[in-house]
Amino acid sequence: MTIEIRRLNDSTHSHIVHGDSLYVHDFLGTPTPPEQLKSFITMTVYLPGYNNNLVEELPLLTWQWYGDQLADSLLHHKKTVRLVGNSLGCMISLYANHKCSELIQEILLYQVPRFGVLREPVKKKYGEIADLLISREAYLEFRETIQDSIEPRILSVMDQLGWQKLQHLYRGAALSDLVLENQSITTPVTWIDDGRFSWQHPIEAVEALKLQLPSLKRVSIEKHI
């Protein structure tokens, strides 16, 4: 099972060139970048579990597994690129860097998610959701409880995935975390700050990342696009 990488404005084109900027999307997101990031993204990453993969073919979809798969794809293409990660994509990008830092010019992080101690309530919540999603009927009941508090685009993705893939994605997310101990990251890493934070993406997550990556830079989104 491989990760697909396609040109932003031409999904039939997958040829990577040196200097391309690859967008890695968020949890329950799509390969289409947010408008505020589109101007400097040239290619998008299509993650297994969000496409036509059969559920029974899917491994445990953790951050690290995705990162390993992205690294393998970059090693296959042998081109130096920039990674632009959004939430889930932040962690995938950092894990990919463990295996192929020589091919990554820069990592840009947008909406840093909870990790480490901060992630414990997320793991518990996502594990409970995965346990709950045992049938289409259970999914519809769950959907009804969250539909007024979740973005329409995410609801659309959930409906398209179906309860079985959704259960698989939540299970992988419940078992995901970021471990950077004893890892020396020399690739430049920049946090893109748009001034917005949420329960899933608190300022504390950025502060925790800064402790592990003292060289982490910050840039406002207005200056970077």
111-158 pLDDT, tens digit per residue, is 999 999 999 999 999 999 999 999 999 999 999 999 999 999 999 999
189-217 pLDDT, tens digit per residue, is 999 999 999 999 999 999 999 998 989 99
Number of residues that this document lists for the chain: 225
- Local confidence band at 7 (pLDDT 50, 70, 90 cut-offs): very high
State yes or no: pLDDT of 186 exceeds 60.
yes
- Local confidence band at 183 (pLDDT 50, 70, 90 cut-offs): low
Long-range contacts of 176-184 (CB under 8 A, 24+ apart): 176/62, 176/63, 176/64, 176/91, 176/119, 176/123, 177/63, 177/115, 177/116, 177/119, 177/123, 178/63, 178/91, 178/94, 178/95, 178/115, 178/116, 180/94, 180/212, 180/213, 183/98
Percent of the chain with pLDDT over 70: 96
Position 225 scores a pLDDT of 46
Asked if 50 contacts 111 with a C-beta cutoff of 8 angstroms, the reply is no
State yes or no: pLDDT of 224 exceeds 60.
no
73-126 pLDDT, tens digit per residue, is 999 999 999 999 999 999 999 999 999 999 999 999 999 999 999 999 999 999
State yes or no: pLDDT of 222 exceeds 70.
no
d(CA 186, CA 10): 32
Whole-model pTM?
0.95
Position 13 scores a pLDDT of 74
Q: To the nearest whole number, what is the mean pLDDT of the chain?
A: 92
State yes or no: pLDDT of 181 exceeds 70.
no
Percent of the chain with pLDDT over 90: 82
What domains can you pick out in the chain, each with its CATH number?
4-119+180-224 (3.40.50.1820)
Position 198 scores a pLDDT of 95
Position 185 scores a pLDDT of 85
Position 150 scores a pLDDT of 92
